[in-house]
């Protein structure tokens, strides 16, 4: 089976992890700081590492002080972690429909959804293509709310010459094995605001306060630490950071190879009736995580099943989040966000990962043409 996505591990990655295992540190040690410093050079803002992309989102919402009754505006086309981590703070999830070409949140729809309770707009960089960050930045600033970028798909992408991570108030990343680089499981939070990053870091370290200048209990010894607000343990260990440091060195190579794969698909499939291909907007430089092709909704399931039967592990990304039964109690129902619904009814993610071979691409293309 040709998977729709997979990790790439080489001998240098393995050697880096083995070296970490032989060191004096297994959990939080010097490689955590090295990984976070290397991330900062890539994304253009200071970072903290955490255990997953979901953890990164949870930390981001904690950093902005999300509380019950606050509203968070998100697109429907995303993995449900984008909404779940906000809902767990008691926030109300408000959906705004997508732009039909990128599947990213429509800035006009996002602005129309803003109320006096809105705390943040969350832009998801679907498939690796950055959302319209300048427009969203302007809207967020005009209304005095936060802009959060869920960049689980897009580390290494650039928006109008600026790296993803350097524009939104807070940006979150995922390093799951199918993503643009991996630490096995892992993620990160980046912020252009030091105070927000510090709050995210404290939440990810169980809320522990270790600075004596901040202590409220002042009659203890040098061992003392205390908690002012609850947090969780989302620390990424040295072992996984060792892999992350080496994967970051390979990120540009991964990107170049996937750009070539993207171009191969476009060259082979462009102009064929019955298939719509993803586009890269002007002034974008995309590190593609997915290749989201779109087909006639009536034929989509047959094409999906035919490709799977041929040994091509295609996927659909994603069911509109507001369809999940957990949202039914809020009065949400199918049809409320028609552009998202249409996109979902058409989408199939073709194999997209750096080690995909030319022969495998040709095999995928031949089967698509036969099934169409």
State the fold for domain 2-248.
Answer: 3.40.640
Note whether 2-248 and 251-371 share their fold.
Answer: no
The model's pTM is: 0.97
Q: Where are the domains positioned within the chain?
A: 2-248, 251-371
Per residue in 164-180, pLDDT tens? 999 999 999 999 999 99
At residue 291, the pLDDT reads 98
Distance, in Å, from the CA atom of 319 to the CA atom of 80, rounded to the nearest integer, reads 9
Task: Using CB atoms within 10 Å of the CB of residue 119, give its burial: 0 to 12 exposed, 13 to 18 middle, 19+ buried.
Answer: buried
At residue 70, the pLDDT reads 98
Per residue in 108-126, pLDDT tens? 999 999 999 999 999 999 9
Per residue in 324-360, pLDDT tens? 999 998 889 999 999 999 999 999 999 999 999 999 9
Please give the CATH number for the structural domain made up of 251-371: 3.90.1150.10
Specify whether the CB–CB gap between 288 and 128 falls below 8 A: yes
Token code pair at residue 297: 């909704």
At residue 97, the pLDDT reads 98
Q: Sign of torsion, CA 264 267 272 275? A: positive
């Amino acid at each position: 089976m040709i998977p729709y996505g997979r990790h790439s591990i080489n001998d240098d990655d393995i050697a880096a992890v083995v070296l970490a295992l032989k060191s004096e540190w297994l959990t939080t040690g010097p490689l955590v700081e090295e990984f976070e410093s290397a991330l900062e050079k890539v994304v253009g803002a200071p970072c903290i590492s955490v255990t997953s992309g979901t953890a990164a989102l949870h930390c981001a919402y904690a950093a902005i002080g999300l509380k019950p009754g606050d509203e968070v505006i998100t697109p429907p086309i995303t993995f449900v972690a984008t909404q779940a981590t906000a809902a767990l703070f008691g926030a109300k999830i408000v959906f705004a429909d997508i732009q039909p070409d990128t599947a990213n949140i429509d800035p006009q729809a996002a602005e129309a959804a803003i109320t006096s309770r809105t705390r943040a707009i969350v832009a998801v960089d679907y498939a690796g293509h950055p959302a319209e960050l300048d427009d969203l930045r302007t809207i967020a600033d005009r209304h005095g709310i936060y802009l959060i970028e869920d960049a689980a798909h897009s580390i290494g992408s650039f928006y109008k010459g600026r790296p993803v991570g350097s524009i939104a108030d807070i940006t979150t990343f995922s390093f799951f094995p199918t993503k643009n680089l991996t630490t096995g499981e892992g993620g990160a939070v980046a912020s252009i605001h030091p105070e927000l990053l510090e709050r995210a870091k404290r939440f990810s370290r169980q809320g522990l306060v270790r600075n004596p200048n901040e202590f409220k209990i002042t009659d203890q010894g040098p061992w003392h630490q205390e908690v002012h607000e609850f947090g969780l343990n989302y620390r990424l260990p040295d072992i996984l950071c060792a892999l992350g440091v080496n994967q970051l060195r390979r990120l540009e190579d991964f990107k170049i190879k996937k750009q070539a794969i993207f171009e191969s698909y476009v060259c082979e499939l462009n102009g064929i009736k019955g298939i719509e291909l993803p586009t890269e907007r002007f002034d974008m430089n995309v590190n593609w995580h997915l290749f989201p092709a779109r087909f006639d909704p009536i034929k989509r399931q047959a094409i999906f099943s035919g490709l799977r039967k041929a040994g091509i592990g295609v996927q659909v990304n994603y069911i509109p989040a507001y369809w999940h039964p957990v949202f039914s109690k809020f009065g949400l129902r199918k049809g409320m966000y028609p552009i998202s619904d249409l996109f979902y009814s058409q989408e199939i993610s073709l194999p997209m990962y750096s080690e995909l071979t030319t022969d495998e691409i040709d095999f995928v293309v031949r089967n698509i043409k036969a099934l169409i």
